[in-house]
A and B are shown apart, each in its own frame.
Chain A
Amino acid sequence: MPPKKPTIPGRGLLKGLGVTFKEMVNTLKPDSRGGGPVTVQYPHEKEEPAPRARGVIALYEENCTACMLCARECPDWCIFIEAHKYLAPPRREGGKPRQKNALDRFDIDFSLCMFCGICVEVCPFEALFWSPEYEYSELKIADLLHDKTRLGQWFETVPDFEPYEGGSEAKVKKVPQP
């Protein structure tokens, strides 16, 4: 319970106006609390999202084996995968030819995606990554379906994983270098 002070009429109003005035002066200073003006002039200046920010999903196609784990675990089933099997030449001379999966189609429908990150998390072969890019709005909703070429282009924007805070036992993962 706060102590009830005897107040002069209008004191609270003046105090409030004082706060507003102080904030007005603060925004003129370059490095005040909040660092000057809070807003940025968006198309000209851009705010840098955190490296972990979930902006868009990038695909590293070489690592994908079309195991369908991401498509199965997706909560709203917005990943579409088609693949076919082929026989790759054997690694050693005289060995058996290896059976491999080739990716025909890998689409993510970003109009359905909830940006939960489950697909990135369950991928056992490190083929999916988060990129903090966010500028991919479209005029038509159908254009939000990104195919594997488009998802592969996002891979160039994937930042390196950050080091962890002290006391952590987790291992820092590495983004594959193509």
Chain B
Amino acid sequence: MGNVDLTEIPESQKLAYIAQQAADGRVNLEFETDEGMTLNIGPQHPATHGTLRIVAKLDGEQVISCEPAPGYMHRGYEKLTEVRTYPQVTTLINRIDWLGSFANEVPFILAAEQLMGIEAPPRAQYIRTILFELSRIANISLFLGDLGIQLGGITVGFYAFRDREFVLNQIEAVTGGRFHPNFDRIGGLKDDLPKGWIAETKKAMEKMRAFCDEVEDLLIGNEIFQARTRGIGVIPPEIGLAYGLTGANIRGSGVDWDLRRDRCPAGLVYDKVDWKVWTHPDGDCFARSWVRLQEVREATKIVDQLLDSIPSGPVMAKVPRIIKVPEGEAYVATENPLGEMGYYIVSQGDLVPFRVKIRSASFSNVSIVPWVCRGVYVPDVISILASLYFILGDIDR
């Protein structure tokens, strides 16, 4: 209805109009109550790259209830994909989880390949998996630094930013983009590896392993860090599964579930390497952080093994120049740095997808915040939010 002068509206419609306006505004009103004090954490916060508002109701120092209010960064990617051709979509979905961008492309491309009945050549599958793991390392190493920053240990943040650059340089050398590679194509990859890249990447992996040892000494072994994370924000496995937690959050609760091992989609070669899924039985903030640290270590091992065994051959299958995906539906999910990320593509045989549903891990992971933050103290909210680890763009898409 827009801005309407209330005097112009007949008396009978006035009430309905006001009710409609109030319904629109209820998003903001529903958190305001009489009991306790309302504390807004966000939408802007210096330690977050993105905007998420968390409304906490406090009784003194204790949190009565805590409600995340996502939507400040909604960019409408699901709708935007409906007017973009398949090659154009990959450049958009890079921006969903901006710290591990390459991992966002892979499930979409795999789903489209599944619909078209194309399989990428083995060399492309290997390089795809390597880049997937590199983006995981870049993403989670920043998590470890961010965790330190949020809990008052700034040093590890600087080391994380420094050492993540080794991985980003490798991603840039092969894809051309540090953050938004846009490298994955239906039927293979855009380009092959440049000369000397394998040796350089092995060196970078050495450095990342040294970084992991450093984080272990600097942060994980630190008594203050342990005091602020051990026994805080405990998520029992059944509650975590009920809220749809995935990734390191559920593995930190002792559930041995990893899509890379359990449901590896065709097009990634995790079954050809020897690696381990780490779990931790405690389910607290420390467990989640520790599992993520082990994941970086494991990812460096996966990359090293894959680099040794890249087969020779082309990196692109035979694909028509104008890509039309045949009619059908497909859902492909992969284990992204944050958890399960999946794309449900409905195609009507057109140049553009008819509908794309993006299942991003952070949206589910943040849904447990009201449950896990009930009754904790205010400083613990920061530990819990930091250890749950969501990317704000991944929540809102």
A1 to B277, CA, bound (A): 11
Contact: A165 with B195, CB < 8 Å?
A: yes
The 8 A CB mask of B179-219 against A (1 = contact, 0 = none) is 01010000000111111111000000001001000100111
Residue A3 interfacial (CB < 8 Å)? no
Q: Report the interface size for chain A: residues with CB under 8 A from the other chain.
A: 40
Known: A12-B223, A38-B162, A50-B169. A19 touches B214 (CB 8 A): yes
A117 to B192, CA, bound (A): 15
Contact of B172 among A23, A49, A163 (CB under 8 A): A49
Binds A, one of B110-118, B310-318, B389-397: B310-318
- B interface, how many residues as a size bin? 35 or more
Contact: A167 with B310, CB < 8 Å?
A: yes
Known: A2-B290, A20-B155, A118-B88. A169 touches B172 (CB 8 A): no
Residue B382 interfacial (CB < 8 Å)? no
Residues of chain B within 8 A (CB-CB) of A20 are 155, 218
Residue A18 interfacial (CB < 8 Å)? yes
Contact: A115 with B180, CB < 8 Å?
A: yes
Interface of A is mostly: loop
A1 to B198, CA, bound (A): 32
Known: A117-B176, A117-B182, A164-B195. A169 touches B221 (CB 8 A): no
A10 to B222, CA, bound (A): 8
Contact: B162 with A34, CB < 8 Å?
A: yes
Residues of chain B within 8 A (CB-CB) of A12 are 217, 221-223, 225-226
A34 to B91, CA, bound (A): 32
Residue A97 interfacial (CB < 8 Å)? no
Residues of chain B within 8 A (CB-CB) of A54 are 176-177
Contact: B91 with A114, CB < 8 Å?
A: yes
Q: In chain A, what residue has the closest Cβ to B195?
A: A163
Contact: A16 with B221, CB < 8 Å?
A: yes
Known: A13-B223, A20-B218, A75-B91. A167 touches B180 (CB 8 A): no
Contact: A1 with B88, CB < 8 Å?
A: no
Residues of chain A within 8 A (CB-CB) of B92 are 75
Contact: B224 with A164, CB < 8 Å?
A: no
Contact: A16 with B219, CB < 8 Å?
A: yes
A96 to B225, CA, bound (A): 81
Contact: B192 with A15, CB < 8 Å?
A: no
Contact: A121 with B172, CB < 8 Å?
A: no
CB B63 to nearest CB in A, in angstroms, measures: 28
Known: A34-B162, A38-B162, A117-B182. A168 touches B173 (CB 8 A): no
Contact: B223 with A9, CB < 8 Å?
A: yes
Q: In chain A, what residue has the closest Cβ to B220?
A: A12
The 8 A CB mask of A163-177 against B (1 = contact, 0 = none) is 111111110000000
Could you tell me which A residues sit within 8 Å of B by CB distance? 1-2, 9-13, 15-16, 18-20, 23, 33-34, 38, 49-54, 73, 75, 114-118, 121, 130, 162-170
- New A-B pairs, 11, CB < 8 Å, besides A2-B290, A11-B223, A118-B182: A15-B218, A16-B218, A115-B180, A116-B182, A165-B192, A165-B193, A166-B312, A168-B315, A169-B312, A170-B314, A170-B315
